[in-house]
Amino acid sequence: MEVTIVLSLLGIAIILFATEKISVDIVTLIMLIVLCTTRIITPEEAYAGFSSDFIVILASVFVLTAALEETGILEFMIVRLVQVASKGTNILLFLVMLISGGISAFMNNTTVTAMFVSPLVGVSRKLKISSSKLLMPLAYASILGGTCTLIGTSTNVAVSGYISKAGFEPVTMFELTPIGLVIFAVGMLYMMTIGRKLLPNNQDTTLTEEYRMQKYITEVIVLDESPLVGQIVYASDLSRMRFKILNIIRNKEKFLPDYRTRIKGGDVLLVEGQLDDLIKIRETKGIEIMADVILEDALQSPDIRLAEVLITAQSNMIGHTIRGVDFQRRYGLVVLAVSRQGETIRTKIGEVRLKLGDLLLVQGDRERLASLRVNQHLALLEEFAPILFAKRKGFITISCFVLAIILGSFNILPLSISFLAAAVISIITGCITTEKAYQAIDWRLLILIGGMTAFGSAMENSGAAKFLATNIVEWLEPFGKLGILAGFVLLTVFLTQPMSNAAAALVIVPVALQTALTLNSEPRTFAIAIMLAASVSLVTPFEPSCILVYGPGKYKFSDFLKVGSGLTLLLLVIIIFMLPMFWPL
């Protein structure tokens, strides 16, 4: 009975993770409640994962990463890199992959990708090359770079913590480095040769063409006798008819309306709406319709510009609607459209619930747009300008980071204590404020990892792990230990499509450990194989780093399938056959 409950919960969780109808952290907590209620695990076992040292390590790394971003030193280094490498596409691609992969060995790969996107889009426009030739290699390099160290990905830290809890030796800081470097080098070589030829060459278009806006924008002249006169723009009859007033020309001056602006006689309103609705308002009294099609110039002036902004992994707007975050009042910008994984959303913009990687087409004055360059919630995609950085604070944070790695790697201090100390020092020295430190921590991820660790205990307590292990051994026994290991590797890649990498790994690891014991094999070898396999699943764009480049690179789902399938297969072969060289079966 308990086996049925646990496996049923797992199936439901996979579906909910894939559909994202309910937040992953809430799904995880619901699972824990059910498992405790059915007495499959005790409350102590349910909470054990949240009090583990690997949770402290992950939280500390988030704080240190945010401190480095806050000082501006990483952005400064990236801009200098792009400037040096902009002399040639090949050199640029090589250095971007090398540096992003190197940084992501010690930082979250999503953060690394987000920092590179804006400068790469800017330099690609300056060099007149397609950003699609640079952004997917960037995402892949940052993902693969994380396989080189223990703290390279949250998956590595989580799996290491789980096997330590299960009574096995945890993974050390640089234990993964030899095979991780091979994986990273092969990934770079593939993307510089075969992958580069498979990458699309998406040509740049004007923003209005890209978001398909021309047919829906027109100019409306408000006559003195119009009932619109005196009405507040965003509560006017036009707004109630589902038209969006983009800007106003009054006395030959163009400006953006705000929540207090009232319509006056003689105003020329630039409005957006459905074509059918535009036809209907031709008969409305008190207004005159001018052109049915307005090009990009009509949306811009010397002081008002169009731009694209990217929703980053650190954004506190993820999961909220554009109206709910009061976007226009908060940033002084009007959202005209949203691009999400190739789909353009142009209606009911205020009700759009924002997701990681969304591209917003916004209109606003130059100063407001320029202020986004130092905003951690939005990345402005235009020609990237270097920003000043706090040298002293930047060097303090980097020194703390490096010292934590050294102290933890040589067992001078426990890894969790060394990183916690580094994070605390970065706060005390003013490299990052306490409030921003708490905001930098991905609490959803920590809840997911802590909860899925407890789910692993439920797999063991219920006998589900043993049940699955026995069946897997029976099915794959003719292929030997290596064949069974390969089966787990492929299963991990399959599960990372609907689930996060860390969650998928923590689901499979208990079964893999039990299988290894049944085979009288080395359990750590199986655990490390799953750890690595979870980080080389590049077939679909569901990995957060890939989601971040999807919109700016104008990619299609098939692009990732075409480029990533061959690379994933190649890396899986390397893992399966090289792993026993470092960790015997």
Confidence (pLDDT) at 208: 56
Confidence (pLDDT) at 210: 57
Q: Which residue has the higher pLDDT, 282 or 468?
A: 468
Stretch 519-542: mean pLDDT: 90
Per mean pLDDT, which of 70-84, 302-316, 431-445, 571-585 is the most reliable? Answer: 571-585
Report the candidate in 497, 473, 474 with the shortest Cα–Cα distance to residue 485: 473
- DSSP codes joined into one string, 282-341: GG-TTEEE--S---GGGG--SSEEEEEEEE-TT-TTTTSBTTTTTHHHHHS-EEEEEEET
- Return the structure tokens found at 248: 């106003």
Confidence (pLDDT) at 150: 92
Cβ pair 367, 332 in contact under 8 A: no
Q: What is the mean pLDDT of the chain?
A: 82
| Exposure string for 370-380, b = 16+ CB within 10 A, e = fewer | eebbeebbbbb
Confidence (pLDDT) at 214: 47
Confidence (pLDDT) at 293: 45
Q: Give me the residues paired with residue 218 across strands.
A: 271
Q: What is the pLDDT of residues 202-251, one digit of tens each?
A: 766 655 555 555 445 677 888 888 888 888 887 888 777 777 787 888 88
Measured distance CA(254)–CA(267) in Å, rounded: 10
